[in-house]
Amino acid sequence: MRSMFLGGCAATALFLSQAVVAEEGMWLPNQTPELAGKLKEAGLEIDPAMLSDLQAAPLNAIVSLGGCSAAFLSPDGLVATNHHCVYGSIQYNSKPGQDYLTDGFLAKTNADEVQAAPGSRIYVIEDLRDVTSMMNKGVTTKLDGLTRFDKLEANRKNLIAACEKQANRRCDVRAYFGGYTYYLQQQLEIKDVRLVYAPASGIGNFGGETDNWQWPRHTGDFGFYRAYVAPDGTSAPYAKDNVPYRAKSWLKIATTPLTEGDFVMVAGFPGVTQRLQTAAEVKHVFDSVYPVEQQLRADYSDTIVKATAGNPATQIKYASILKGSDNYKKKLLGEIAGADAIGLMARKDAADTAFRAWVAEDKSRTAKYGPALTALDRNISEANDARVNALRLSTINRSQLLSAATLLYRWAKEQQKPDAQRDSGYQERDRLPVSERLAQLDRRYDAGVDRVIFDQALTEYRKVPADKRTTAFEAKLAEIGVDRLYADTKLADSATRASWLNKSPAEFEASDDPFIQLAVAAYPTIIADEKNTKARSGRIQAARSVVMAGQLAFAKSQGRTLYPDANGSLRFTYGKVTGKVRDGQIWTPFTTAEGVVAKHTGRGEFDAPDAAIARLKAKDFGNYVDPTLGTLPVNFLSTVDITNGNSGSSTLNAKGEFVGLAFDGTLDGVVADWSFDSSVNRTIHVDGRYMLWTMEKVDGADRLLREMGVN
């Protein structure tokens, strides 16, 4: 499509002449000193030390949404993130006749800003510190797997409890390099989160699943929340008299146009990568796990579509669930295809072979790392054997009432223990999040749809060999019957569901609610399976932590610096604005307004708002024209290294200024979760200029523009 390119042979020659700089790595802030020289060489203009300072911009402006990333763009708690990151809150506030999913939402004043979905949070980073020595206190090689797991977990909970003695803090301890090191991440937890603005679906989700993970892309994937606190400035749940949070730092909107070849960086909270896993783990996932998981996801999406067809009310209720499932099923297809395209297994085999050869070359290294490698291989083989069955068994939890009943009974059982001895997720610190999770069902549940989903899940569940299934659960289900499950349960009622949070195990065991009876029947098997998993996890941690110490030493011997796999903690990554050449295709770095008009059909996924199309056709681009392109940029590509969880991450220029939001990768590059390849890896960003243009010219969000210092 010619309108999506810079135009003609001259532009192609310009693009081909650009050197592609792809910098692999999701770096911890404390690794900045090792990278300072590379950062400056790549084009960073601010002092690299600023990227290790969590008390000042830019990193102090970066926040987590507990699954997405975001950033403050004003001192009054205004947070920019992706449209798909606020999608759950748009859905939660929508209903027939008030369809914010389709029409968008804009609060004209602070008073018009609405509560985000239950459980929404804004987490402001305050500290990320090494606690390895405290985590390893009392952990010795003499401990068996379960005892080791329990000791590490007890140490972790003690550290979290000490951190959370500070009011309104949410703390967590995460493993890095397979448990070779541990860091505690401390964040201010803001509980009153409100939806401020989200453009219409025809901008925020333009192209839908058809364009998802694709280039060229023309999606205005952005939205805004605001953080609110009590009048005295402390974090508090929603209350009408709460006030906007005063951010310590916020990002400045760039005024210098972003161009091809420019340095960019992204800071956020990437979720999970598996680049440091062994060849055996990777082979099992791609040969056995992913094909099944992808099919399960596809069937789940198809089931929801069929069950909600022709019913706008249920389509709205399940929109967020469906969007998540669709996204992941397509990503899995990309990872499977990408693994073949880059020769993933050959890469992993070569890396494994090189490391093991290095270990074998030296007797001291063989003594130090050899036994751990053997133990790791053995325990990984055991873990692999259980993964596919576990996937199929877990599908029954897609029934939201069964999932709720299981959660509630487990909560009641855990409350019988002292708080410090309860399993993570069931401590007093988790009471509010659990109650909010239960409250979400009010606007995301329909009995008829849930019944269809449960029936489909049971089909998958029964594909697991009988000796691997839960006998007591099946017997109770046969006794009750699926019809009675939905006819006799009271858990669909919000108040009834919430009341069970305060009941004893004995009350659950005496209940005649069929879903609760199922949960009680399944509980012993769940706990037994968890115990086995914990024991195996302890053994794997004991081995992997030693192996990773070896991998770090191996990398150092080669002059390489390793970064840990993503685990939801704060990271930064950097690269260049650049496109890509594929067989028969040239991907230029920017897409433009002309591409939106060309794709617009007025139907389905390509239905942009009339006001947007009219202004684009009239070339009413205001102050947002790119001087090089001669038009309005929409999306751009870069070589920064991201994954899930980076959605909503602010993209910064060399001066640390806001130039857009990362929101996607390309389908051929999602295999980077397992192995980074600079020839295919590209991140897709919504250009800040398209965001500002939409806000000014389409939706009239002038008060937000003024707040951000734009107008």
Q: Which residues pair with 266 in a beta bridge?
A: 573, 651
Q: Give the chain's end-to-end CA distance (angstroms, integer).
A: 35
- DSSP string for residues in 318-385: THHHHHHHHHHHHHHHHHHHHHHHHTHHHHHHHHHHHHHHHHHTSHHHHHHHHHHHHHHHHHHHHHHH
pLDDT top residue among 107 and 4:
107
Q: Tell me the CA distances in angstroms from 696 to 247, 352, 357, 710, one per residue in order.
A: 24, 54, 60, 10
Q: Could you tell me the two tokens for 219?
A: 């999606």
What pLDDT sits at residue 595?
Answer: 98
Average pLDDT score over residue span 470-478 = 96
| pLDDT tens for each residue of 527-550 | 999 999 999 999 999 999 999 999
Rounded distance between C-alpha atoms, residue 115 and residue 194, angstroms: 4
* pLDDT over 90 percentage in the chain: 95
Residue 457 has phi, psi (to 5 degrees) of -65, -40
∠ CA(44), CA(46), CA(49), 5° rounding? 100
Who's near 130: CB < 8 A, 6+ residues apart?
30, 181, 182, 183
Task: Please say if 649 is a catalytic residue.
Answer: no
Q: Model confidence at 5, in pLDDT bands (50, 70, 90)? A: very low
State the DSSP code for 597: H
Q: Could you tell me the two tokens for 596?
A: 């939106």
Rounded distance between C-alpha atoms, residue 701 and residue 540, angstroms: 52
Task: Please say if 600 is a catalytic residue.
Answer: no
What pLDDT sits at residue 13?
Answer: 33
At position 73, the amino acid (one-letter code) is: L
| pLDDT tens for each residue of 549-583 | 999 999 999 999 999 999 999 999 999 999 999 87
Cα 490 vs. chain centroid, distance in angstroms? Answer: 33
* pLDDT over 70 percentage in the chain: 97
Who's near 15: CB < 8 A, 6+ residues apart?
6, 260, 579, 581, 586, 588, 589
What number of CA atoms fall less than 13 Å from residue 473's CA on the CB side?
A: 20
Task: Please say if 84 is a catalytic residue.
Answer: yes
Asked whether the CA dihedral 258, 264, 267, 269 is positive or negative, the reply is: positive
Measured in residues, the chain has a length of: 711
Q: Model confidence at 14, in pLDDT bands (50, 70, 90)? A: very low
Q: Model confidence at 711, in pLDDT bands (50, 70, 90)? A: confident
∠ CA(234), CA(235), CA(241), 5° rounding? 80
Element housing 499 (H / E): helix 494-499
Q: How many CB atoms lie within 10 A of CB 162?
A: 12
Instruction: Give the active site residue among 647, 649, 650, 675.
Output: 647
Rounded distance between C-alpha atoms, residue 44 and residue 59, angstroms: 15
Mean pLDDT, the chain, as a whole number? 95
What pLDDT sits at residue 584?
Answer: 84
- Residue that has been written with the tokens 């003594």 in this structure: 367
Does residue 15 surpass a pLDDT of 60? no
- Number of H helices and E strands in the chain, helices first, is 26, 20
Give SS3 for 253: strand
Instruction: Give the active site residue among 221, 664, 668, 687.
Output: 221
At position 323, the amino acid (one-letter code) is: K
At position 260, the amino acid (one-letter code) is: E
Q: Model confidence at 3, in pLDDT bands (50, 70, 90)? A: very low
Does residue 34 surpass a pLDDT of 90? yes
Instruction: Give the active site residue among 52, 83, 84, 399.
Output: 84
| pLDDT tens for each residue of 270-322 | 999 999 999 999 999 999 999 999 999 999 999 999 999 999 999 999 999 99
Asked whether the CA dihedral 670, 676, 679, 685 is positive or negative, the reply is: positive
| pLDDT tens for each residue of 92-136 | 999 999 999 999 999 999 999 999 999 999 999 999 999 999 999
Pairing of strands 650-652, 263-268: antiparallel
| pLDDT tens for each residue of 645-676 | 999 999 999 999 999 999 999 999 999 999 99
